[in-house]
Amino acid sequence: MYLFLVLNLNTLWVAVSIAMQHGHYDMCKTQTKSDEGIVWEYMACQPESKDMTQYLKVRLDPPNSTCGDPPEPFCAMGNPYMCNNECDASTKELAHPSELMFDSEGRNPSTFWQSVTWKNYPTPLQINITLSWNKTIELTQNIAITFESGRPEKMILEKSLDYGVTWQPYQFYAADCLDAFRMEPKSVKDLTANTVLDIICTEEYSTGYAAHAKTISFEIKDRFAIFAGPRLHNMASLYSQLDTTKNLRDFFTVTDLRIRLLKPATGATFVDERNLGRYFYAISDIKIYGRCKCNLHANSCTFTNNRLACDCEHNTTGQDCERCKKQFQGQAWSPGSYLTIPKGTANICDPSIAFIGNCYCYGHSNRCTYIEIVNTAVCVGCRHNTRGQHCEKCKKSFHRNGSAKLDDVNVCIANVCDNELLRCQNGGVCHNNMRCQCLPGYTGILCEKPKCEETGGCSSKSGQESIPHNLYLTTMIIVARLCTL
Ligand SMILES: [Ca+2]
């Protein structure tokens, strides 16, 4: 009872932990309060992981590799001497079309695609199954292929990142890796952070007719675990690696997968030539979980006109949100970033200053962001101690310098005055490092204005009657330097 409770608590903890780790990137923006009022705050985001087999197209090569046209006999799986089964493409109950690799299982018996038999032996029975999404997707879980025929003795899983123009091997599978591919057999468990991108040949999934072992895996999670820990409890660490290592990111990204079936299970050293109806491939299920690659600029992806496309946010566009919208090219496009967990960095596309005009931020910023809800642009990253939609206000603790224009770099000045730096002018004295106490006749934050200017009663003589304090000190310093020479 106690053990049961502990196991359940552990399971719950793992589930909650994984949900928390994965849930950080499901929102692209949220509204928050700021000095400028209610504004959008943008975050890196990605669509949820889901069953990607419902969006793929399958192609067999050669095209006539499916059994049943013409009808042909084959031997029962597990009993190669019962060879009175028939595959007939024109009879629903006896047909084994390719879509049966992707229907929902759970029915008994399984539904499966089945190939022609190896009747042309010794010509190799080789069939390619190509799965295409017409969209870049990121794999998130192990790929699992269930064979009803016994697992092939030789197989290569391949991937393409350019819609099937070029292909790279993903993993080799063989009963004997050295014999089949001249590769030392390895397990994904042998991989480390330095070798995680190595393409290996494994003998773990090619044991022929073992009834309890039907599945061939491509282990995504074991590779994630190298960075995120065995229970994937530290996804932040994985994400940080993905952020900084393009090769690692690309490793889990595909547009197409290709299963190259090179030799069916024989279960023996020699092929029984009198009984070739016992050799074929049959696949009942293929599981592929992943998400649309949207460069962390979208949290959903829609399937319209038989095509997946990201619902881009952050002023981005394109099937993968891979570029900035027109008029939002204030700076170069870049993908969102997983860094600064839990929210990630959105790297949104800003409106170009060319689009909204050069005077928009008074020269205190060359970037602005577009706020949809009020249909307006706001300057981003105002410098020179300014803030506001157009960088036209002063930051807290800074005051507007009355003698400077709005585009002056000194438009906002600190009100923590300092007697050493002599910020107070015209004999004013800094009081408590807070404000200038001015001599009679002067006013302004730094005592920079003669009072008569405000009343319009300045005479040409008044400026000459007294030496401004700063000028007096400067003169004294110059005199002192001359004395030391
Ligand atoms: Ca099926």
Mean pLDDT of the chain: 83
Tell me the pLDDT tens digit for each residue of 162-194: 999 999 999 999 999 999 999 999 999 999 999
Give the model's pLDDT for residue 414: 76
Residue 323 lies in a domain: no
For residue 87, the 8-state DSSP code is E
The answer to whether residue 358 scores a pLDDT higher than 50 is yes
pLDDT, average across residues 377-394: 87
Tell me the pLDDT tens digit for each residue of 187-241: 999 999 999 999 999 999 986 555 568 999 999 999 999 999 999 999 989 999 9
Residue 351 lies in a domain: no
State the distance from the centre of ligand 1 to the C-alpha of 85, rounded, in angstroms. 19
Residue 464: exposure state from Cβ atoms within 10 A (0-12, 13-18, ≥19): exposed
State the distance from the centre of ligand 1 to the C-alpha of 97, rounded, in angstroms. 10
φ, ψ (nearest 5 deg) of residue 259? -100, 115
Q: Are 412 and 402 in contact (CB under 8 A)?
A: no
Higher-confidence position of 392 and 331? 392
State the distance from the centre of ligand 1 to the C-alpha of 120, rounded, in angstroms. 27
Per-residue tokens: 156: 């290569």
Q: Which CB contacts under 8 angstroms, 24+ apart, belong to 244-250? A: 247/197, 248/196, 248/197, 249/138, 250/161
Give the model's pLDDT for residue 475: 31
- Domain containing 246 equals 50-292
pLDDT above 90 as % of the chain: 53
Give the model's pLDDT for residue 415: 65
Q: How far apart, in whole angstroms, are the C-alpha atoms of residue 407 and residue 216?
A: 66
Q: How far apart, in whole angstroms, are the C-alpha atoms of residue 123 and residue 273?
A: 12
φ, ψ (nearest 5 deg) of residue 15? -60, -45
Residue 174 lies in a domain: yes
- Element housing 19 (H / E): helix 2-22
State the distance from the centre of ligand 1 to the C-alpha of 406, rounded, in angstroms. 70
Q: Are 264 and 121 in contact (CB under 8 A)?
A: no
Per-residue tokens: 393: 């206000």
State the distance from the centre of ligand 1 to the C-alpha of 98, rounded, in angstroms. 9
pLDDT above 70 as % of the chain: 81
Residue 241 lies in a domain: yes
Q: Give residue 123's Cα distance to chain centre.
A: 45
State the distance from the centre of ligand 1 to the C-alpha of 103, rounded, in angstroms. 5
Q: Which residues, at least 6 apart from 246, have a Cβ–Cβ distance to it below 8 Å?
A: none
107-138: b or e for each residue (b if 16 or more CB lie within 10 Å)?
eeebbbbbbbbbeeeeeebebbbbbbbbbbbb
State the distance from the centre of ligand 1 to the C-alpha of 285, rounded, in angstroms. 5
State the distance from the centre of ligand 1 to the C-alpha of 102, rounded, in angstroms. 6
State the distance from the centre of ligand 1 to the C-alpha of 100, rounded, in angstroms. 4
State the distance from the centre of ligand 1 to the C-alpha of 23, rounded, in angstroms. 31
State the distance from the centre of ligand 1 to the C-alpha of 105, rounded, in angstroms. 5
N-terminal to C-terminal alpha carbon distance within the chain: 94
Per-residue tokens: 283: 């696949």
Per-residue tokens: 18: 């994984």
Give the model's pLDDT for residue 67: 98
State the distance from the centre of ligand 1 to the C-alpha of 284, rounded, in angstroms. 4
**Residues written for the chain:** 485
Q: Tokens 């004997």 map to which residue?
A: 176
State the distance from the centre of ligand 1 to the C-alpha of 283, rounded, in angstroms. 8
Give the model's pLDDT for residue 353: 63
Residue 262 lies in a domain: yes
State the distance from the centre of ligand 1 to the C-alpha of 272, rounded, in angstroms. 28
pLDDT, average across residues 74-94: 89
Q: How many domains does the chain have?
A: 1
DSSP assignment of 98-117, as one string?
GGGGTS---SSSPP-EEBPP
Strand segments (E) across 264-397: 282-287, 289-292, 301-304, 307-310, 316-317, 323-324, 368-371, 376-379, 386-387, 393-394
Give the model's pLDDT for residue 17: 39
Q: How far apart, in whole angstroms, are the C-alpha atoms of residue 365 and residue 414?
A: 20
User: pLDDT band at residue 18, thresholds of 50, 70 and 90?
Assistant: very low
User: pLDDT band at residue 54, thresholds of 50, 70 and 90?
Assistant: very high
State the distance from the centre of ligand 1 to the C-alpha of 106, rounded, in angstroms. 9
Distances (CA, A) of 314 to 163, 284, 296, 442: 26, 41, 10, 51
The answer to whether residue 297 scores a pLDDT higher than 50 is yes
State the distance from the centre of ligand 1 to the C-alpha of 69, rounded, in angstroms. 20
State the distance from the centre of ligand 1 to the C-alpha of 111, rounded, in angstroms. 4
Higher-confidence position of 115 and 354? 115
State the distance from the centre of ligand 1 to the C-alpha of 305, rounded, in angstroms. 25
User: pLDDT band at residue 98, thresholds of 50, 70 and 90?
Assistant: very high
State the distance from the centre of ligand 1 to the C-alpha of 139, rounded, in angstroms. 21
Task: Output the domain CATH number for residue 67.
Answer: 2.60.120.260
Residue 128 lies in a domain: yes
User: pLDDT band at residue 461, thresholds of 50, 70 and 90?
Assistant: very low
Of 244, 193, 240, 251, whose CA–CA distance to 218 is shortest? 251
Give the model's pLDDT for residue 430: 81
For residue 438, the 8-state DSSP code is P
Residue 451 lies in a domain: no
Task: Identify the weakest region by mean pLDDT among 135-139, 184-188, 284-288, 405-409.
Answer: 405-409
Residues with CB under 5 Å of ion ligand 1 are: 100, 103, 111, 284
Residue type, 149: S
Residue 267 lies in a domain: yes
Q: Tokens 């920079």 map to which residue?
A: 448
Per-residue tokens: 401: 């310098």
Of 263, 258, 283, 286, whose CA–CA distance to 60 is shortest? 258
State the distance from the centre of ligand 1 to the C-alpha of 145, rounded, in angstroms. 11
φ, ψ (nearest 5 deg) of residue 215? -100, 140
State the distance from the centre of ligand 1 to the C-alpha of 147, rounded, in angstroms. 10
Tell me the pLDDT tens digit for each residue of 236-295: 899 999 999 999 999 999 999 999 999 999 877 789 998 899 999 999 999 999 999 999
Higher-confidence position of 450 and 173? 173
φ, ψ (nearest 5 deg) of residue 106? 115, -20
Give the model's pLDDT for residue 211: 54
Task: Identify the weakest region by mean pLDDT among 44-48, 97-101, 304-308.
Answer: 304-308
